[in-house]
Amino acid sequence: MNRDTPELLIITATYNEAENLPILASQVMKLGLPANLLVVDDNSPDGTGQIADELAQQTSGGVRVLHRSGKLGYASALREGFALGLQDGYRVIMTMDADLSHDPTRIPALYAATEHHDIAIGSRYVPGGGTENWPLSRIVLSRTASALARLLTGLPVRDCTGGFRAYRKEIIQKADLLDSSTEGYSFLMETLFKCHRIGASVCEVPIVFHDRQRGQSKISKKIIFEAGWVLLKLFWCRLTGKATPSGDALHTAE
């Protein structure tokens, strides 16, 4: 590792998060961890990318920015972030949402858990975890999705769909998480599936998921349909013994 590279890279994919990003960056920097916050912005029309550049200057590089040409999607944003993190020698690569639904004060606990585990998941569904200000319909949908994912894929994880995670660099490389055609939030299930199939050690760290207060949610019926389709593909892989579907078998439009 380059001696100037911190150990932890925190990736947040952004599209129209101008109100939330400065708050997130401030809270991350206050933690005092050997970390960089990488903002992967999809050319947000609300100026999120420009705000990220300003934060990078204000934090003397504590915030890093990856600008993309348009709305290329969540999964590809994480893959590009993983690639940069591996290239630059970070020991741990973390993912979290930019809308403050993931509490930055839980970053140290996730980071610490990677001392003994390949992956640490910020979990809503273990003792001490939960959700805040969610309607009953959303709670039922989320819990049902995780239960189905466990049943169909065999994943020994209570929260299969959460995006607040920390990965050791070795498991990203060994599971070849950059080689994926899955798009959207279904990427989260695929990464866990691939890592589990090669024997990754996974732990769940309790978090409370806070519903966003600013901006608009990116969840849509299209994303939910996509997740169901990918889940069936992963179930087929489990039945046939394949690591993951090859080529375009997991690809759906984002």
Length, in residues, of the chain: 254
Q: In Å, what is the CA distance from 192 to each residue of 59, 108, 176, 184, 217? A: 33, 21, 12, 15, 24
Separation CA 45–CA 84 (nearest Å): 24
231: confidence class by pLDDT, cuts 50, 70, 90: low
Helices assigned H by DSSP within 183-220: 186-197
Contact 209, 124 (CB under 8 A): yes
pLDDT value at residue 151:
79
Backbone angles phi, psi at 249, to 5 degrees: -60, -30
Backbone angles phi, psi at 234, to 5 degrees: -70, -35
Identify the CA nearest to 188 among candidates 203, 197, 177: 177
Residue 242 has pLDDT above 70, yes or no: no
CATH, domain 8-250, list 1.20.1090.10, 3.30.1330.200, 3.90.550.10, 1.20.120.1760: 3.90.550.10
Q: In the prediction, which pLDDT does 190 show?
A: 86
User: What is the model's pTM?
Assistant: 0.86
Q: How many angstroms separate the CA atoms of 91 and 72, rounded?
A: 27
Express each pLDDT in 94-144 by its tens digit: 999 999 999 999 999 999 999 999 999 999 999 999 998 888 877 887 778
Place of tokens 């509490």: 103
Tokens for 189, please give them: 């299930």
Per-residue pLDDT at 203: 97
- Residue 140: the pLDDT is 83
* Per-domain residue ranges of the chain: 8-250
| Local structure of residue 179 (DSSP, 8 states) | S
Most confident of 137-146, 189-198, 205-214: 189-198
Share of the chain above pLDDT 70, in %: 82
Mean pLDDT for the chain overall: 86
* pLDDT exceeds cutoff 50 at 25: yes
